[in-house]
């Protein structure tokens, strides 16, 4: 089973100063933090804020190439959490054929925001992230097993429609 999520916001891990994309389940209060790189976080932030660069950035370019080739980004899914690394797939429909492309979650999320398509998380990923001994799961590189200290108060950020 899968759950649809929305980007709830971007945070900075106070321990590592790494950006975190916070995904929220649309049907519950469940949230999934995914540590991302600074460039990917910037790409996500610019799309959330609807800032238009003068020239297409990488995720804009990817969307444009897919569209020009007759494809449509149908959805993205965070599919797996293995060895403290998240995995995702981008689902593209081209002439009635569905193509699944392996992706880092940050790139998939940045593309989903630009393509205005839904984001999903497999239930087992959400469950596994809850049962891991450390919250410090990272798609770029393993973080230390030190306990992550969350800010006492997370600013309420509006939901963003994919």
C-beta atoms surrounding 34 within 10 Å: 24
In this prediction, residue 130 carries a pLDDT of 79
Q: What is the pLDDT of residue 52?
A: 87
State the pTM of this model. 0.80
d(CA 30, CA 144): 24
Contacts of 40 (CB under 8 A, 6+ apart): 19, 104, 106, 107, 110
pLDDT, one tens digit per residue, over 75-111 is 999 999 999 899 999 999 999 999 999 999 999 999 9
Predicted local confidence at residue 129, as pLDDT:
84
- The pLDDT value recorded for residue 132 is 59
Of 115, 118, 117, residue with least CA distance to 60: 115
Q: What is the pLDDT along the chain (162 residues), one digit of tens a residue?
A: 999 999 999 999 999 999 999 999 999 999 999 999 999 999 999 999 999 889 999 999 999 999 999 999 999 999 999 998 999 999 999 999 999 999 999 999 999 999 999 999 999 998 888 775 444 334 443 333 333 333 433 343 443 333
Distances (CA, A) of 96 to 63, 78, 93: 18, 23, 6
Angle at 102 between CA 98 and CA 105, to 5 degrees: 115
pLDDT of residue 48: 92
Domains and CATH numbers, the chain: 2-131 (3.10.690.10)
CA 136 to chain centre: 16
Please give the pLDDT value at position 154.
38
pLDDT of residue 136: 38
């Amino acid at each position: 089973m899968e759950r649809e999520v929305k980007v709830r916001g971007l945070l900075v891990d106070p321990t590592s100063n790494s950006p975190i994309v916070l995904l929220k389940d649309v049907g519950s209060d469940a949230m999934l933090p995914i540590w991302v790189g600074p460039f990917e976080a910037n790409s996500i932030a610019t799309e959330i804020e609807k800032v238009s660069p003068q020239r297409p950035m990488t995720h804009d370019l990817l969307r444009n190439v897919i569209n020009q080739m007759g494809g449509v980004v149908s959805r993205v899914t965070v599919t797996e959490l293995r060895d403290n690394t998240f995995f995702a797939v981008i689902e593209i429909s081209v002439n009635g054929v569905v193509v699944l492309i392996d992706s880092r979650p940050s790139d998939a999320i940045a593309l989903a925001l630009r393509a205005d398509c839904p984001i999903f998380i497999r239930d087992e990923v959400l469950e596994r992230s809850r049962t891991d001994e450390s919250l410090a799961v990272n798609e770029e590189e393993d973080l230390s097993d030190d306990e992550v200290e969350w800010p006492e108060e997370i600013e309420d950020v509006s939901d963003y429609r994919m």
